[in-house]
Amino acid sequence: MNIAVVGGGRRCKDFMDVIQRHTFLEIHPRIVAVADIRPDAPGLVAAMEKGLFITSSYDDFFDRDDIDLIVELTGSMDIYNDILAKKKKNVRAIADRTAQLFWEISRVSTMQKKTDQELREVRALYSMALNDLIQEEVLVIDHRFRIIDTNDAFLEKFGLTRDQVIGQFCYRITHHLENPCSGEDHPCPLIQTLESEKPSQTTHIHLDRDGRKIYYSISTYPLFEDGDVIGAVELSRDITKDINVQKVMMQQEKLASVGRLSAGVAHEINNPLTTILTTAMLIQEDLDPNDPTYEEMSVIADEALRCRKIVTNLLNFARQTQPDKKNANLNEIIAACISLTQKQAAFKDVSVVYDPSDNLPRTLVDKGQIEQAMINLIINAVETTPAGGSISVSTQLSARQGFVDIVVSDTGEGIPENQLNKIFDPFFTTKENGTGLGLAITHGIIEQHGGTIEAASKVGAGTTFTITIPGEKIASHAS
């Protein structure tokens, strides 16, 4: 097995030493290439002394036909993802040097010929690899899907103890399922590894201790005993942050593109709309109210007015500017927004309850933009809440240090799960006469304030929007 290493630091040098010292029984790994931008990196220097291929750019690895495995040792998620995107399909890639070591450790630890001293050394090496060297979360799983070992990183992520995990089925612990993962959207990498006797890789969605989704890149590596696969080592890498960053970037690109388009379209449509509306009203003035055409003119006028409203929203959307932030009392801003929307809520027989936090710090915000975002959310809640329902608005210190939360909940119809991830997209709406711009504008405003907005909903049980924006930490810098 020919290995190329990205990152020629001390870890690379140690990796080379381990491979040189260790006697491998079934695989014969050897490092053939090392990449690092630093010419004096220890691993790169050692590779040069051994006559190995060295380079300052790991891109040089992708055209070679003699590389079976690329090991990324820089610790950079961006570099690892770039390797995954560029490598050949038949080339494996892992983000830690210990995956190969596990295969041999498992076999060596079962050999009866080893002395007690040798076994103690193996166990010490295994423990060090499992908890000190590996940055990913690790499960050692047998062929019956039972967990036979794990590392501290996994236990910490899921908030479990070793006793709660060892001996349990992996799919119960990570997915809360009664049967192994299956299907095209959720393939089981362990099954693939057991069948092919080769490493496997996939992406899964796990649930953490609070039931929140965590995106994982999962790699499984076979464990052999007497030539048979007896299980696998599963390395899970949390890529949730990368997924969320990609979503944010896509949303920003979407908003920017729609904004440019909206500005042009809105200006071009506004003038003919005014002509249509004015002409319809003038014709209507000359008609008898009982004339059938009179009603038709009313329809034309009403639809023209609706189009004008859409155009106005388009212009507002396109004119989004960088916020002019000033130190402000967030509770007072929200109270004013509730006051402005109170009559519309009362007209629909919907109550609005406000519960401001007494210890909320002053925040650095653009008052006008926050007002626009809050009014959008409250009006949206009023329109989707039936008569007799209620809307609650509250502020509180966020679990995220230095931030504050604004929570808007309603007892309305709720949003289906398959639509929830689309509600911030421009022009997506579930309302019959909606423009699909209100939530998109709100999302843009909150992001420009360095915050986030999330929605949770259940059909028939209402919707909750949670805004998290910087509070005391940033506001104090401005004072």
CATH number at residue 44: 3.40.50.720
Same domain for 73 and 112: no
111 pLDDT band (50/70/90 cuts)? very low
Query: Tell me, what CATH number does 258's domain have?
Result: 1.10.287
Same domain for 453 and 415: yes
Same domain for 273 and 378: no
- What's the whole-number mean pLDDT along residues 301-327? 73
Same domain for 468 and 330: yes
Instruction: Pick 399 or 433 by higher pLDDT.
Output: 399
User: Pick from 272, 289, 319: which residue ends a domain?
Assistant: 319
Same domain for 448 and 332: yes
233-288, pLDDT tens digit by residue?
888 877 887 777 776 667 666 666 666 666 666 667 777 888 888 898 899 888 88
Q: Which domain holds residue 137?
A: 98-238
- What's the whole-number mean pLDDT along residues 432-454? 79
- Whole-number pLDDT of residue 218: 85
- What's the whole-number mean pLDDT along residues 169-186? 80
- Whole-number pLDDT of residue 157: 79
Query: Tell me, what CATH number does 337's domain have?
Result: 3.30.565.10
- What's the whole-number mean pLDDT along residues 374-382? 90
- Whole-number pLDDT of residue 97: 42
- Whole-number pLDDT of residue 79: 85
Same domain for 436 and 337: yes
Same domain for 73 and 27: yes
For 425-433, the CB contacts below 8 A with 24+ separation are: 425/251, 425/254, 426/254, 426/255, 426/258, 426/317, 427/258, 430/384, 431/383, 431/384, 433/306
Mean pLDDT, the chain, integer: 79
- What's the whole-number mean pLDDT along residues 335-351? 88
Same domain for 12 and 71: yes
Same domain for 436 and 418: yes
81-95, 167-181, 456-470: range with highest mean pLDDT: 456-470
Same domain for 259 and 232: no
What is the total count of domains within the chain?
4
User: Pick from 238, 264, 283: which residue ends a domain?
Assistant: 238
Query: Tell me, what CATH number does 208's domain have?
Result: 3.30.450.20
Same domain for 221 and 108: yes
Residues above pLDDT 90, as percent of the chain: 19
What is the distance of C-alpha 213 from the center of its chain?
9
User: Pick from 52, 70, 97: which residue ends a domain?
Assistant: 97
- Whole-number pLDDT of residue 286: 87
- What's the whole-number mean pLDDT along residues 144-166? 85
pLDDT of residue 15 exceeding 90:
no
Same domain for 178 and 104: yes
